[in-house]
Amino acid sequence: MQVHIKNERTDHPTEGAIGYSCGRYTTRKLQLHGCRDAKLGNPHPVGKRCPRCGIIHARGEAIEACKVDPEWRYRLRSFLRREAKRLRYHQHVDLWCWCAPAACHCDLIKQAILHNHSGDA
């Protein structure tokens, strides 16, 4: 299984992939691609005041904050449970966000999907 992190603005879907929108909004373009909303937007924004922490996160910090955020982790587990069956039938998964090629919380989602998948085998 391969998980691709895609930029909503500039990238095209991988052939035969199941697509998930991982940002804070689902755009019309993604709906046209048949993407599902992963409901996994990072609650810790980059470069503007974080409503949870009250500070401005740099990019790396926003990922770290996301990684240990209990509510986000709960949503990630729900996502993996909810989508387990669908994920099992796809060789390719596209994760759509606004950030690629910059790092973002999609890396955490990618790791979790791959980890979960290898656990299945």
Q: Is 6 in the site for Zn ion (CB under 5 A)?
A: no
65 binds Zn ion (CB under 5 A): yes
Residue 66 interacts with Zn ion (CB under 5 A)?
Answer: no
Query: Phi and psi of 6, rounded to 5°?
Result: -120, 150
Tell me the closest approach of the beta carbon of residue 76 to Zn ion, in angstroms.
Answer: 14
Does 104 engage in binding with Zn ion (CB under 5 A)?
yes
The tally of CA atoms less than 13 A away on the side-chain side of residue 70 is: 0
Q: Which of 11, 14, 39, 53 binds Zn ion (CB under 5 A)?
A: 53
- Closest approach, Cβ 22 to Zn ion, in A, equals 6
Ramachandran bin of 102, using left for φ above 0, alpha for ψ from -120 to 50, beta for the remaining angles: beta
- Residue 54, phi-psi category: left (phi > 0), alpha (psi -120 to 50), beta (remainder): left
Binding residues for Zn ion (CB under 5 A): 44, 50, 52-53, 65, 97, 99, 104
